[in-house]
Amino acid sequence: MPAKTENKNAAASGRRREASPEGPAYARLAGRIKQMISSGEYQPGAKIPSEAAISKEYGLSPMTVRQAVGQLVDQGLLRRVHGSGTYVCGPDWTRASFSLEGLLELLHDKNGISIKILRAGIVKAKARAAAALEIREGSPIISLMRLVYHEGRPFLLNKASLRFDPRSPIVESELEVSSLSGLFTGKGNSFIKKALLLVEPCLLSPEEAGFLEGDRESAAFKINYTFYGYSDSPVGSGWFLALRKAVTLSTRIGVWDD
């Protein structure tokens, strides 16, 4: 058999060995290394074996090993030091991202969610809205205020400013109950490229307390947001206001097995 044919067969055989019903070899190797970090076999700050050594130990190609290590580097579990090797990272508090679990659980309960439009119309953009939408002050915008109910009780007050473009799908989505969680989380709406959220504590004004059936000056969270389209221009901005009991901020630091 010609040498080139033998090499092709060997390469194909190697690819078959590195694939399995459990997933690609690099993912399984990344999971194995992650377990060793989680169990303490690889301590924070420790240097793991070289990629060549890992390749030899597990019988995997250097490319597969590099892909597995690269995945863990991207996840912040490992770091490469040029000319030195690859090291285990300790928990990095600066990489923490907090989720709004309690609020999102309510928003995902579509059968229990309803929306009441309090105000809606075309107005001239004031300075703050114009700056957020990157348009001229006085330009027409769509202004919305709505109250979100869960099982008949108000729990979320929303004010939104949208660029005036009736053809934009975000205008239609802002008015639909079914897409509320998608707008809030950035998922399920193909026209939104990215979103910027800023969570800050605040006290309810008398009007806000009336809408949310809370006590005057009750503690609340205001979630300011800006949505961006694929042109990287803002298409909508505003805020969600929720009573403190409706919002839970949570995050996970370090190595988790799931």
Provide the CATH number for the domain around residue 68.
1.10.10.10
Q: What mean pLDDT, rounded, does the chain reach? A: 80
200 and 116 share one domain: yes
44-53, 134-143, 167-176: range with lowest mean pLDDT: 167-176
Does one domain contain both 37 and 111?
no
Which residue blocks in the chain are alpha helix, DSSP H?
3-17, 25-38, 51-58, 62-74, 101-108, 127-133, 169-174, 180-185, 206-212
Does residue 88 register a pLDDT over 60? yes
Q: If you average pLDDT over residues 189-211, what whole number do you get?
A: 84
Reduce the DSSP state of residue 174 to 3 states and report it.
Answer: helix
Domain that holds residue 237: 99-250
- Same domain for 167 and 214, yes or no, is yes
Q: What are 127-165's pLDDT values in tens digits?
A: 999 999 999 999 999 898 989 888 889 989 999 898 887
180 or 41, which is more confident: 41
Q: In the structure encoding, which two tokens stand for residue 62, read together? A: 């250097």
Which pLDDT does position 93 carry in this prediction? 64
Q: Which residue has the higher pLDDT, 5 or 63?
A: 63
Span 107-133, average pLDDT: 88
Specify the residue for token string 């919305």: 144
Q: Residues 175-213, buried b or exposed e (16+ Cβ, 10 A)?
A: eeeebbbbbbbeeebeebeebebeeeeeebeeebbebbe
Backbone φ/ψ region at 82: left (φ over 0), alpha (ψ -120 to 50), beta:
beta
Long-range contacts of 69-74, Cβ-Cβ distance < 8 Å, separation of 24 or more:
69/30, 69/33, 71/26, 71/27, 71/30, 72/30, 72/33, 72/34
Q: pLDDT higher for 77 or 187?
A: 77
pLDDT digits 0-9 by tens, 18-46: 444 467 899 999 999 998 988 889 988 89
What pLDDT band is residue 10 in, cutting at 50, 70 and 90? very low
Phi, psi of 206 (to 5 degrees): -55, -40
Global pTM reads: 0.61
User: Are residues 37 and 118 part of one domain?
Assistant: no
In angstroms, the Cα distances linking 190 to 1, 88, 89, 180, 255 are 53, 37, 35, 14, 32
- Does some domain include residue 255? no
* From 19-23, 57-61, 234-238, the region with the lowest mean pLDDT: 19-23
**Both 9 and 127 in a single domain?**
no
Clarify whether residues 152 and 77 are in a common domain: no
pLDDT of the residue at 15: 41
One domain, residues 142 and 229: yes
The residue ranking higher by pLDDT, 164 or 168, is 164
Res 72: pLDDT: 92
Mean pLDDT over residues 229-250, rounded?
84
User: What is the average per-residue pLDDT within 42-61?
Assistant: 93
Contact call for residues 180 and 155 (beta carbons, < 8 A): no
Lowest mean pLDDT among 33-47, 98-112, 220-234: 98-112
256 domain-assigned: no
pLDDT given for residue 56 in this prediction:
94
- For residue 79, give the nearest of 41, 40, 39, 37 by alpha carbon: 37
Length of the chain: 258
Same structural domain, 186 and 75? no
Residues 142, 81: Cα–Cα separation, whole Å: 51
**Least-confidence region, from 42-51, 72-81, 184-193:** 184-193
Measure Cα distances from 109 to 32, 150, 151 in Å.
37, 8, 9
Q: Could you give the CA distance from residue 26 to residue 20 in angstroms, rounded to a whole number?
A: 11
Same domain, 184 and 220: yes
Residue 103 DSSP code: H
How many Cβ atoms sit within 10 Å of the Cβ of residue 5? 9
Q: Are 220 and 206 in contact (CB under 8 A)?
A: no
Please indicate whether residue 76 or residue 97 has the higher confidence score (pLDDT).
76
The whole-number pLDDT of residue 47 equals 94
Same domain for 245 and 197 = yes
For residues 69 and 188, state if they share a domain. Answer: no
Considering Cα of 205, then 210, then 215, then 216, what sign does the dihedral take? positive
Q: Which of 90, 115, 132 is the last residue of a domain?
A: 90
Identify the domain boundary among 38, 72, 90: 90
Count CB-CB contacts under 10 A for residue 141: 25
